[in-house]
A and B are shown apart, each in its own frame.
Chain A
Amino acid sequence: MGSQAAAITSPVPVAWYPTLAILMLAVGLIVTASFFIYEATSSRRNRSLAKELTTGALASFFLGFGTLFLLLASGVYV
């Protein structure tokens, strides 16, 4: 049964975890920086909610996945 059955592995190769963690966290932090720079440089009247939401969503997506791969790379297999 064992030799014919397909082995199940992770959808992302385990060797990629540290690299993916660093890349995703770096991109996420850059987008976070862009979000706060936008907040700081614009006045309340000029702000566009759509731009804030998209930047926030993009930043949280990359930060979320980056945190996941960081946890997996450090041995906490969630």
Chain B
Amino acid sequence: MGPIVIPCSNYKGKGQDILAASSSNNQIQILNAERRIDLSSHIVKVFLTLKVENVGTSPASEIFLAFPPSQADQLALVKAQAAIGKKKKKSYVHLDVNPTQLPDAPNGTKYFSISLLNPLSSGETATLEVLYILTHSLEPFPAEISQLESQLVYFRDSALILSPYHIKQQTTFIKTPSTKVESFTRVEPTKFAGRELKYGPYEDRPPYSFSPVIVHLENNSPFAVVEELLREVEISHWGNLQITEHYKLVHAGARHKGVFSRVDYQSRASVKGASSFKHLLASLPPRVHSVYYRDEIGNISSSHLRTDYRKSELEIEPRYPLFGGWKATFVIGYGLPLEDFLFESPDGKRYLNFSFGCPLAQTVVNKLTIKVVLPEGSKDPSAAVPYPVEQHLETKYSYLDVVGRTVLVLEKKNVVPEHITPFQVYYTFKPIFMLAEPLMLASVYFLFFMACVAYLQIDISIRK
């Protein structure tokens, strides 16, 4: 499997499916690649530092990243930045990363292309830093554990970084949450010390080299996964933003088998449910009011709200601790002042500036739905979201509604805490429509008074 020679033709077109976009395999060479994989929580974060060199003749404006198909399905986020300057004056510039396709991809490899700011001319080098996040990548093994056991997981990856380019030197560091690692595949040179497993350095590997390794390690961090999260944001122009969040939480680690002994759980002597968790922290915006936490049974009183002028923290404790495979369904609701989130843009449209993502810390959301309910009389809704999401419109009938409120629905799968960024929803609204609500109430009262007048005028006596 040597380098693939592709005819030299450069079709430049960002964001489109590029056919034969480059003779990239011959043009770019990676001088040094360092990959740091962080396995401290159930969300796998990989930091990749690439020093690329253009050894071809024509300038290159894109660098491709390759992922094996199983990993590509679990990718939640890929971010890249370029380092500019040296040592003390280093600054970082964000680069666009888009999924792409290349012809002749071996074994179904999936690609992402990083668009460079300035094309890399022949002989130049550049340093790129890539962060990508994998979810559901730690497989619990054994798949079922009892209350007293610790949780062990498999992490599958490759000791060699998969890349369409030739890599001169590469090293991979894997950071484990504890010093206990049951086993790991040896691909010399390999070293394990403390909490770090080092694969490398490897010299001169051809493109698409892959050496699968399995690391069996102990990971007792809370595997909190929200299967479905529905966030409803209701805008009222009378001064309030009402948020309602419906959670379906599950513990996605090794399934719990056997009995749950409350005595063992609460005693301090033995290790009890090391991988279970009972607290969850939600970060809410400051100046939040009327916070409630309930489920189908009723209110759950085991929660604490700590407010600050910069943020509010809601610490919730479900009715029972969560062990592997256990689920909890609950609703969190709160109100926010309108002036913190609704603004007027220069072209006269109003927009809501709110944060996309899940407020719970360290959780993966399998399916996130955000519904923005716009007040009655709003027109032309549109959303500006930094990630690709599915959008559609709905109608909701709420208080004092005649024609219904437009609802803009945004859906995204596989959301991690790094996705928490602001997004905007634009719409037009004529302030005169706010009068519709009190006038509707006044007209109902007026009808009542007119009915009284009519009743008092009608003569229904039989006797004259």
Query: Hey, which chain A residues are within 8 Å of B339, CB to CB?
Result: 7-9
Query: Hey, which chain A residues are within 8 Å of B443, CB to CB?
Result: 60, 64
- Contacts A14-B337, A60-B443, A78-B236 supplied; 9 other A-B pairs, CB < 8 Å: A1-B343, A7-B343, A9-B239, A10-B238, A11-B434, A44-B456, A61-B442, A64-B439, A64-B443
- Whether A68 lies near B453 (C-beta < 8 A) is no
The CA of A65 and the CA of B290, in the complex, are separated in Å by 24
B96 within 8 A of A: no
| Nearest Cβ on chain B to A30's Cβ, whole angstroms | 14
Name the prevailing secondary structure of the A interface residues: helix
A37 within 8 A of B: no
**B contact set with A: CB distance below 8 Å:** 234, 236-240, 242, 290, 335, 337-340, 342-346, 350-351, 353, 398-400, 431, 434, 437-446, 448-450, 452-453, 456-457, 459
Q: Which chain B residue has the least Cβ–Cβ distance from A67? A: B441
The CA of A51 and the CA of B351, in the complex, are separated in Å by 46
Query: Hey, which chain A residues are within 8 Å of B439, CB to CB?
Result: 64
- Whether A8 lies near B338 (C-beta < 8 A) is yes
- Whether B446 lies near A56 (C-beta < 8 A) is yes
Contacts of A4-61 to chain B: CB distance below 8 A = 5-12, 14, 35-36, 39, 44, 47, 49, 52-53, 55-57, 59-61
Query: Hey, which chain A residues are within 8 Å of B290, CB to CB?
Result: 75
Number of A-B residue pairs having CB atoms within 8 Å of each other in the complex: 106
Query: Hey, which chain A residues are within 8 Å of B448, CB to CB?
Result: 60
- Whether A9 lies near B338 (C-beta < 8 A) is yes
| Nearest Cβ on chain B to A58's Cβ, whole angstroms | 10
The CA of A72 and the CA of B242, in the complex, are separated in Å by 13
Query: Hey, which chain B residues are within 8 Å of A44, CB to CB?
Result: 456-457, 459
Q: A35-B449, A72-B238, A78-B238 are in contact. Are A8 and B344 (CB under 8 A)?
A: yes
Q: Which chain B residue has the least Cβ–Cβ distance from A10? A: B239
- Whether B400 lies near A8 (C-beta < 8 A) is no
Q: Which chain A residue has the least Cβ–Cβ distance from B290? A: A75
Residue total for A at the interface (Cβ-Cβ under 8 A): 36
The CA of A58 and the CA of B238, in the complex, are separated in Å by 24
- Whether A6 lies near B343 (C-beta < 8 A) is yes
Determine which residue in A53, A56, A59 has the highest number of CB atoms from chain B within 10 A of its CB, and name it: A56
Query: Hey, which chain A residues are within 8 Å of B234, CB to CB?
Result: 77
The CA of A41 and the CA of B453, in the complex, are separated in Å by 14
Query: Hey, which chain A residues are within 8 Å of B345, CB to CB?
Result: 5
Q: Which of A5, A49, A65 contacts B438 (CB 8 A)?
A: A65
Query: Hey, which chain B residues are within 8 Å of A5, CB to CB?
Result: 343-346, 351
Q: A8-B338, A60-B442, A68-B441 are in contact. Are A78 and B399 (CB under 8 A)?
A: yes
| Nearest Cβ on chain A to B462's Cβ, whole angstroms | 17
- Whether A7 lies near B438 (C-beta < 8 A) is no
Q: Which chain B residue has the least Cβ–Cβ distance from A78? A: B399
